[in-house]
Copies of this chain bind each other. A is one copy, B any other.
């Protein structure tokens, strides 16, 4: 592999077979890519995420999984707005050895291409440079701006819903880092959740007109619900009895922090009015995706009398409607904590 331009050309060959429904006017190879919307009444949703070796992944991780995840976490942000993913750019810092031997970067890029193909997304540009393994993706999708699912749209009395099986990615990370042995079937689900997260693009699209607000759970369920609550000027009240049950064979003291504080699941957390329950149950069947009602949005006036936790935008109530002290829980992922 003779240098930067040869590496780029080598990688781009892997993308040539991908058919996207709305190819760019001009793809990689000039100073800029050129793109048009598929319809003049759509706005662009734009998001960016950076993944750093030693922070978001380990050099020992499977590079093909990592390539998938690098793109998937960005597509998940588009899904959380209800947008259709269209275009992405990829900036990559890799070592000179990665560039010369290119086994690792080939596998990484194969996983990235897996995800491009799975979501009909076109890679329109990028940058490669020497450095520690760091990847930065910017993803662009289309949505009618007035219909986009925002964090600030939750209303009092909205139900709080979560998609899929939250908590498993954190469980998988815990098992990986601490060596905790999980039941085999649980370990498989957890490993997939951690390494091959599935952006909920179809769900996000379907929630337009149904949900009042949405966010993807990347920092942790409590923290991301807090983002919705704060942006909407409300409280999010979770009911312990409605939360997804602890998987059989997993310690409850391990599970609860994974469920409530673990990020990295990329499930959609959304709020919707109670009269949408039937539609959401039907949607769950149609998408073959669990959609679980876990709580309710309240006005800032707290529904319980535990004045010490009034300031918390998110509360968890036990079976007798008493607030559970969440101060011991991991507050979600902070890259500088």
Contacts and interface: CB of A to CB of B under 8 A. Distances in A.
Contacts of A127: 48-50, 136
Interface stretch (A3-11, A189-197, A282-290): A3-11
Interface stretch (A64-72, A108-116, A144-152, A241-249): A144-152
A93 B134 contact: yes
Contacts of A141: 32
A281 to B, nearest CB: 25
A55 interface: yes
Contact of A87 (B46, B49, B54): B46
A44 interface: yes
A55 B99 CA distance: 15
Contact of A145 (B36, B77, B90, B93): B36
Contacts of A96: 336
Q: How many copies of this chain sit in the oligomeric assembly?
A: 2
A177 interface: no
Contacts of A126: 48
A141 B33 CA distance: 10
A334 B128 CA distance: 10
Residues of A in contact with B, size category: 35 or more
A5 B231 CA distance: 14
B52 A46 contact: no
Given A334-B3, A334-B4, A150 B30 contact: yes
Most B CB contacts (10 A, CB to CB) among A30, A33, A35, A37 go to A30
Interface string A18-49: 00000001100111111111001001111111
Contacts of A26: 145, 148, 150
A99 B25 contact: no
Nearest to A93: B52
A31 B81 contact: yes
A32 B45 contact: yes
A131 interface: yes
Contacts of A198: none
B136 A91 contact: yes
A40 B43 contact: no
Contacts of A259: none
Contacts of A51: 129
Q: Considering residues A1, A83, A127, A145, which has the most beta carbons from chain B within 10 angstroms of its beta carbon?
A: A127
A56 interface: yes
A226 to B, nearest CB: 10
A201 interface: no
Given A43-B25, A132-B132, A93 B36 contact: no
Contacts of A148: 26, 32, 34
Contacts of A36: 43-44, 145
A16 B55 CA distance: 30
15 contacts: A3-B336, A31-B78, A32-B47, A32-B148, A33-B45, A34-B81, A34-B148, A36-B43, A46-B89, A50-B129, A52-B129, A52-B131, A96-B336, A100-B336, A129-B335
